[in-house]
Amino acid sequence: MLPIQATGRLPLIGFYALYFSITGIVLPFLPAYLKSLTLSVSQVGLLLSLSPLLSLGAPHFWGHLADRTGRPNRVLNLVCCGACVGFIPLLFVDRFPTLVLALAAYAFFASSITPLLDTLALQHIARTGGSYSHLRLFGSLGFVLSSTLFGLTVESVGHATVVTALALLTALALWSFTLRDAGGPPAQVPVHPLAGLQLLADRELRWLLAACALHWIACAPYHGTFSIFVGSLGLPPSVVGIAMGLGVASEVLVMLFYPRVADRISPRDLLAIAFAASTLRWAALSVTTSPILIAALSLLHGLSFGAFYVASIAIVVRRVPPHLRASGQGLFAAITFGIGGLVGYSSAGAGYDWLGGHRLFAAAAVLELAAAAIVLRITPEKPRLPA
């Protein structure tokens, strides 16, 4: 049974479940919805790249505000409400220029939710004990339920994608006010506005960020074009939903059992394994048209994302001072999901138009090998705090 001792943990659990339920709709199905608006795959790729583009600066801004005020939960309230308001125009707009404005407004806020939420979770663990992965897995459960149910209940990806995501965003904004004031008074150590960038002086952190950004670039064909790829093979949306559901179910298992093996394998070695498994995953997708094999390969998502994320957070926790935790999480988000996502999504859209889905996944497999080589340059130490 998962440990849920403190009432302060329940709001975090609910928030993780709700937020990643939204991701379970937006990540796999929004690309296909945008494609249905008579946009090219290249245009869809550019729209999806807006979130990582805003991730280059927004997490640093909101993270610095959270560290400076000592109130990350209040900052999270603000970004959740902003994300909800920013998403509303998607109910009405269908042209590329107006979609750019709407998705940019949404991304300015939404791109900072994960680092702020992880900051609150790590602060809670530092005070009460427990495991980060056991909190984070509730997000994976939310993802698998929403993605699978949505994929099985819709006959085609349409306007229901936006309506469902907006309803969940509204619930998230309301739930965010249940989060406790975890930060206390403003930090006693002055927080420089460029504190997040100053963390880059750490060589080990630089290797981590470089490897993670490259891995996220390699994941972009899956995140940005998977539903389009499946549709091009003449397969129904249920294949997308089932594949995503199986993938995140495996992610839940990885996060559930990670604390049991954390003393036996360093975060660096776990990252190398995750990147090697991702190489196999993308290489296999580059040659198959079978819906059964496509779904089965999603089981490697437990390593592609689950192991990748908990191991990366473990290294960030080890390398970043506690009073700069939100800035450190913001830096990780900016480099990995900002630069990595921007390059990945923009190139994945153009690459799909140019190469097609199979060759695009083959290129992703090559990038994963490079990420594995880079991450092995990190010293294989264990994290100081529970992962």
> Could you tell me if 128 and 5 are in contact, meaning their C-beta atoms sit under 8 angstroms apart?
yes
pLDDT at 307: 92
Please answer whether residues 227 and 28 qualify as being in contact, where contact means their C-beta atoms are separated by less than 8 angstroms. yes
User: What is the SS3 assignment for 243?
Assistant: helix
Q: Residue with structure tokens 């880079």?
A: 374
Share of the chain above pLDDT 90, in %: 35
Q: What is the pLDDT of residues 155-178, one digit of tens each?
A: 777 788 999 999 999 999 999 999
Count of beta carbons in the 10 Å neighbourhood of residue 301: 26
Please give the mean pLDDT across all residues of the chain. 84
Per-residue pLDDT, averaged over 183-197, amounts to 50
CA distances from 386 to 125, 272, 311 (A): 8, 20, 11
Residue of 309, 305, 325 whose CA lies nearest to 317: 325
pTM comes to 0.74
pLDDT at 102: 93
Element spanning 363, H or E:
helix 357-375
pLDDT, mean of residues 105-120: 90
pLDDT tens-digit series, residues 128-155: 877 888 888 898 888 878 877 887 787 7
Domains of the chain, start order: 9-375 (1.20.1250.20)
